[in-house]
Amino acid sequence: MTRPLLEINALHLRFQGIVALDDVSFTLDEGNVTALIGPNGAGKTTMFNCVTGMYKPTEGAVRFDGEAITGLKAHHIARHGIARTFQNLALFSGLTVLQNLLVGAYLKGSSGLLQGMFRSAATRTEEAEAEARARGPVRSRRDRRLSRRRRIGLSLPRPRPACA
């Protein structure tokens, strides 16, 4: 049996007298696609905010790949590869898809400001590796051409109207 990638154990979050999360527990295994669904106000966004470090749970634990991440700051959790996006993505409109993907690569790099300014060998190597990772999912020639011209967009499906 494999260890779960994400473990949520007895998570609670209270905002003064309001209970936003009440004893929430679940695990997610690597390689599976999982959805968190529920009505408005059920705590879905609050759960994501606890996992990504935007909120600190009142009680309970969050573990990622066996490591406790409960209460860590968002930028520390992002270094593990977990980040929160918003429905109105604020991408850099003047950048290509590839360039927008590379913006987040700095979290995985170790070059500092001076190395970046002077374009050290380590900086150039990190940038080349990041670009290779960003280009990895782009498979066909057509996809590569589109990735240079279009920006990324992500949205949730709109609810379908009830049938009459």
Q: Are 19 and 58 in the same domain?
A: yes
- How high is the pLDDT of residue 137? 60
Q: Are 74 and 102 in the same domain?
A: no
Q: Are 115 and 72 in the same domain?
A: no
- How high is the pLDDT of residue 90? 66
- How high is the pLDDT of residue 87? 67
Taking phi first (over 0 means left), then psi (-120 to 50 degrees means alpha), and beta for anything else, what does residue 137 get?
alpha
CA 164 distance to own-chain centroid: 38
- How high is the pLDDT of residue 150? 41
Q: Are 63 and 126 in the same domain?
A: no
Q: Are 102 and 69 in the same domain?
A: no
Which letter, b or e, does each residue of 59-83 get, where b requires 16 or more Cβ atoms within 10 Å of its Cβ? ebebbbeeeebbebeeeebbeeebe
Q: What is the mean pLDDT of each run of 10 residues along the chain (164 residues)?
A: 87 93 94 89 93 94 94 88 74 79 76 84 88 70 44 41 51
- For position 48, which CATH number holds? 3.40.50.300
**61 domain residue, yes or no:** yes
- How high is the pLDDT of residue 39? 93
Residue 20 to residue 33: CA distance in whole angstroms: 25
Instruction: Tell which residue, 84, 58, 89, 90, has the closest CA to residue 71.
Output: 58
Residue 21 to residue 19: CA distance in whole angstroms: 6
**104 domain residue, yes or no:** yes
Q: Give the number of C-alpha atoms closer than 13 A to the C-alpha of residue 145, restricted to the C-beta side.
A: 3
- How high is the pLDDT of residue 1? 61
**90 domain residue, yes or no:** no
- How high is the pLDDT of residue 27? 94
3-state SS assignment for residue 127? helix
Q: Are 72 and 128 in the same domain?
A: no
- How high is the pLDDT of residue 61? 97
Domain interval for residue 133:
97-149
Total number of domains constituting the chain? 2
- How high is the pLDDT of residue 162? 53
**162 domain residue, yes or no:** no
Q: How many helices (H) and strands (E) does the chain have?
A: 6, 4
Q: Are 69 and 101 in the same domain?
A: no
